[in-house]
Structure 1
């Protein structure tokens, strides 16, 4: 097993010292626990992959880069797992509507299945949608859904409509959340015409049955309540192991990549190395700014209202809303790694030897 753990060390290091390390491990193995020895071997091997052996900050920068790579890789792994989820079926929506409100007149209901698992402005992601995705409209990239709406319901008040909905969801085997109330419109605070107590509320109820998620909105109306239903899919089970595995691989890959560049940077020109460090720090600001801006916002959102399906990981790290800074950060990193490879200028011995 120890021979496999030596893969944590860079290749040149293994060629020079692998025999010595294995001999030492064979001598101390009877006195030490194998798990602890293996953990130390991996830890020292990963540290040996980084340049500047006397530096402490290089470990911190490698960790910052590797964790960011792990988060972006995990979001991609989860996205791939979602592509294998069960497609939405408009027939299931029609059956659900008929089960909840048999015989009621439906104003509008989707009669076709969505074109993809994720859509932007109603269409699958394509090169034509890249400008929208990169320049401010990345939030429009979302889960596909199918919907239905009613403009007349048997109950004449919102509260009666809500009570009837909860009763029918329970009878149909749906697990549903507590209702969420929100103002149907906003007004200017402290304005004479703004009376928050007189603003009619909208009511939202989330429900789940199997892998079907249902969002029901009861909109405010002075006479008859209006109801909209939207059906989506629950998170597929494969998303969790896919995200965890992708995070581990992405973090490890980021560490190895950082180490590969940092070891070669030790022989680079001092001015080029200084500029490369500044560019690397700028790229990390671009990456982590999106993460640190998006994560607290998403956490507050999840604490404010119930969720049968958490928002996907890429939204927690600011993607694809802030995908342009992410891509620009990659370009800066590529340029910085190229600068770090510029060699020092070596002095040439021009002393002539006499015959």
Structure 2
């Protein structure tokens, strides 16, 4: 087993010192816990991959890079599970609405299935929509949805809401507590602004199987309009795929950072400085959207009931901030290019680069 754990060390380090390390481990292992020996072996190997033995901050920078690589890898993996999920079926929506309100005439019902699991302005993502995605409209890229509505329902929103929840529960839907939101905003300092008099829209979320139903009742107390929106629930494979992808992405990010760190360790000072600047700028472009989006999304997630958590990429500020992400990728590519440039090694250097 210990021989396999040596893979945590750089290749040339293993060639030069691998036999010595194994002999030391064999001498120490009988008197120590094997788990502790294995953990120390991996820890020192990962540290050796970073080079720069006199530097303390290199571990911090490598950790920052590894974590964000893991997050983006997990985000991509969960996106793949969504894309592979069961497509929406307009017949399911028609059946669900008809079962809930068999005595009401539907004024609108989508008759076509969505073209893909995610759409932007109702269409699948394509090169023609790249400008929308990159230049501020990334928030329009969202789960595909099927809609239906009633324009005439019995007056009295409390009765409509109570009846809706009863029908949902009778049909096997697990519904949430209603969410109330102001139908419009007014200027707080305006004397005509009375927050207590602002009518509130009502939204109820319900889940049954892999279907999520969002029911919206407008703020008109005389003739309420009820809108239905059906989407898919989070695939069951999303979490396992995300965990595996995070581990692989973080490990790959650590190894990639270590390779670049060792490659630039003995390089020209100008190349080292440029690579560090490019790396720092890239980390700013990658982490800033996360630090801005995650707290806001967490507050939103906790402030009202959800039957489905927002997908991971939205917590990372994507695809709204996809342009900074791509710019960060460009900066890292340039930094890796600098690391790949050949440079002369000192004659007494014992650790070659692998």
Which whole-Å CA distance do the structure 1 matches of 2:94 and 2:308 have between them? Answer: 22
Secondary structure of residue in 1 paired with 2:180: strand
Match of 1:352 in 2: none
1:216 aligns with 2:215: yes
Counterpart of 1:34 in structure 2 is 34
Q: CA deviation at 1:339?
A: 2.9
Q: TM-score, normalised by structure 1?
A: 0.95
Corresponding position of 1:255: 254
Q: Which residue of 2 aligns with 1:2?
A: 2
Q: Does structure 1 retain, via aligned residues, the 8 Å contact 2:266–2:345?
A: no
Give the structure 2 partner of residue 338 of structure 1: 337
Segments of structure 1 that go 5 or more residues without pairing to the other structure are 348-355
Give the equivalent residue in structure 1 for 2:13. 13
Q: 1:113 offset after TM fit, Å?
A: 1.1
Residues 43-92 of structure 1, C-alpha deviations (whole Å, 9 max, x = no match): 11110100211101100000011101000000000001111211111111
Unaligned runs of 5+ in 2: 347-354
In the TM superposition, what is the alpha-carbon distance from 1:343 to its structure 2 partner?
A: 5.5
CA contact (8 A) 1:51 1:265 kept: no
1:7-40 deviations in Å (ceiling 9; x for gaps): 1011001111111111111122211111111111
Distance 1:136 1:288 in 2: 18
Deviations 1:292-340 (A, max 9, x none): 0000010000011111110000000100000100110111112123234
**Structure 2 counterpart of 1:276:** 275
Number of aligned residues: 346
CA distance in 1, matches of 2:121, 2:29: 61
Distance between the aligned counterparts of 2:221 and 2:241, measured in 1? Answer: 48
- CA distance in 1: counterparts of 2:103 and 2:302, whole angstroms: 38
> Do the aligned partners of 2:70 and 2:246 also contact (CA within 8 Å) in 1?
yes
The answer to whether the 8 Å contact 2:264/2:271 transfers is no
Mean Cα deviation higher: 220-229 or 334-343: 334-343
Where 1:123 maps in the other structure, the secondary structure is coil
- 8 Å CA contact 1:270–1:344 kept in 2: the answer is no
- Map of 1:156 onto structure 2: 155
CA distance in 2, matches of 1:292, 1:346: 40
CA-based RMSD of the aligned residues comes to 1.4
TM-score normalized by the length of structure 2: 0.95
Partner of 2:350: none
Q: Which residue of 2 aligns with 1:177?
A: 176
Q: 1:222 and 1:172 mapped to 2: Cα distance?
A: 26
DSSP 3-state at the match of 1:88: coil
For the residue of structure 1 that corresponds to 2:236, the secondary structure is coil
The residue that corresponds to 1:121 in the other structure is 121
Partners of 1:314 and 1:227 in 2: how far apart? Answer: 31
Cα distance in 2 for residues equivalent to 1:346 and 1:211: 59
Distance in 2, matches of 1:189 and 1:130, equals 39
Between 1:274-283 and 1:114-123, the stretch displaced more is 274-283
